[in-house]
Amino acid sequence: MSSILVTGGTGYIGSHTVIELLNLNFNVIIVDNLSNSELTAIDRINKITGKTPKFYKYDVCNRQELRHIFTDNSEIDTVIHFAAYKAVGESVEQPLKYYHNNISGLITLLECMEEFNVQNLIFSSSCTVYGQPKTLPVDENTELQPANSPYGNTKRISEDIIRDFINSGSKLRAILLRYFNPVGAHESGLIGELPQGIPNNLMPYITQTALGIREKLMVFGGDYTTPDGTAIRDYIHVSDLAIAHIKSIDYLKDKSGGFMDILNVGTGEGYSVLQVINSINKILEHPLPYTIVGRRAGDIEKIWADSSKCMNKLNWKPKFSLDDMTSTAYIWEKLLRSGQ
């Protein structure tokens, strides 16, 4: 039986994707160095699915460790590559950390895939490759603007690396999923976003503030040219995003070698920070405390997706609403803090 290797599989999006894979009886192998996740994710995956994926606490930048996985598991035929640093603000402060990890990790993985004749790759890209687009919504043919952060640039460079590798004659079949803003948590409440330290992403900061762990939410920028002055993003529920990866496996099956496609994965709806706050306020006893502060380096003003290509080619459609996203994130955070 073939296996799927999931790099960064104990992380936020990775763990939700592993759950969907296991529920469909895929054989799953995880590699993760736990730099931004915890081993407890494996236990939580088991509680939800009744299955335990094989796990390696290795670093994808380490060629020797990665080769060991492929040598140990010759049945691997597909890799879903999540493993990367992802905080926009931190990437502005520590660009070399991001370039080293995100770029060298991909190169090492591609070299190992070529050596062991593994030809299917689903790559975790990002809408940050669009920079601040001139027109909205963005589709896959929208002209890429300069990335607003080193993180975004690592994703753009990674896309170029995969494209150039295929153009060189590689038999790789790759699908590049440009995510918009994943939020929410598994409906079981057993797994969700678990950032180390102070959250860089909006939703965990909101849920931690709602539970009194943070004094108040800092809203970065209230003077954007948007209806309420706050930044607009296309938020997508993480479980909807996970399903897009499963559909991508099927999509690659009938493609010949030397193939690449790029798909936007979003809902097509843009929501402002204040709209997200208003959504979670529906389930809180008291309104969420927040204060508007200056803009954050690396952030763009507004973006949302045209995901029609993804919906058509993958036969995929998001099912969760913004209220679903905020409520599942809150339930996860609440259960987590109560020790469940």
Given 12, 58, 98, 151, the catalytic residue: 151
Beta bridge partners of 31: 7, 56
The structure tokens listed for 104 are 């060298």
Label residues 250-262 b or e (16+ Cβ within 10 Å = b): ebbeeeeebebbb
Q: What is the spatial distance between Cα 168 and Cα 151, in angstroms, rounded to a whole number?
A: 26
Residues 177/123, Cβ–Cβ less than 8 Å: yes
Asked if the bond preceding 150 is cis, omega within 30° of 0, the reply is: no
Tell which residue, 267, 9, 235, 245, has the closest CA to residue 125: 245
Active-site residue 151, yes or no? yes
Q: Tokens for 301?
A: 């003003």
CA–CA gap between residue 38 and residue 78 (Å, rounded): 24
With tokens 């999931």, the residue in question is: 6
**Contacts made by residues 139-147, CB under 8 angstroms, sequence distance 24+:** 139/264, 139/305, 139/306, 139/308, 139/309, 140/178, 140/262, 140/263, 140/264, 140/309
Residues taking part in catalysis = 151
